[in-house]
Amino acid sequence: MFDLHGRVAVITGGSAGLGRGIAIALAKQGADLAILARRMDKLEATASELRTLGVKCLPVQCDISSQESVDAAVDAVMEAYGKVDILVNNAGNGGPPYPVEDYPMDVFKKVVDLDLVALFRVMQAFGKKMVETGYGRVINIASAMGMVANLDVPLAGYHAAKGGVINLTRCAASDWATKGITVNAICPGMFPSEVNSDEFMETQMDFIRRITPMQRPGIPTTMESYGDLDAAACFLASDEARYVTGVILPVDGGWTAV
């Protein structure tokens, strides 16, 4: 089950962090890849690493806040592979913390534009190609923070954007349900990543233990071992998930269960 040989997967933010981990997981199942991010040096290094798993990997420099850049990325993927089967919308950033009354409007707009508007831009652009072929698996990376509040780290823009991603996922799932395309969202809890550095995770460990019934952060993916997001991503990307759409799947150690 969950064999992805012959499938083409596009991962935004695929050069590092959770995006890189999901790219590794899909590659281990046989998917050929296109990884999108802004830093070409990181993209090329990650692509070289992923090719050692026996798959093709196309690094595509892309700024998802730009329609022109996203359209160029779609053209590059179509030229290289002729199709896109799987889209993992992962790129995003939480922004700096502020209490709601002091949250700068420009910061709020910037976070929402990156985490929600840009995600829609990418989903729409690649989704058009999926509609043409009558097949697609869209996986939006939302967050547990799109489902619950966070008393320790006030991130109103991030919470609002990820909550929007969750309902956008339901909307697109409904709209594309008869077109061969499933749309689902994964809501990770706290995971180490490029954004969540080792130093940051150490400072947040008391918070993680307090809010997470499993009392630990998620385990990231490596080339040598599976991580805690891998099974969810591979399942939702697979043919076997053909009757699963509009699902919001927390992978959070129980954070949103309490």
The catalytic residue among 135, 158, 226, 243 is 158
CA-based nearest residue to 89, from 185, 214, 195: 185
HEC secondary structure over the chain:
CCCCCCCEEEEECCCCHHHHHHHHHHHHCCCEEEEEECCHHHHHHHHHHHHCCCCCEEEEECCCCCHHHHHHHHHHHHHHHCCCCEEEECCCCCCCCECHHHCCHHHHHHHHHHHHHHHHHHHHHHHHHHHHHCCEEEEEECCHHHCCCCCCCCEHHHHHHHHHHHHHHHHHHHHCCCCCEEEEEEEECCCCCCCCCHHHHHHCHHHHHHHCCCCCCCCCCCCCCCCCCHHHHHHHCCHHHCCCCCCEEEECCCHHHC
> Is there a catalytic annotation at residue 98?
no
d(CA 258, CA 250): 12
Catalytic positions: 158
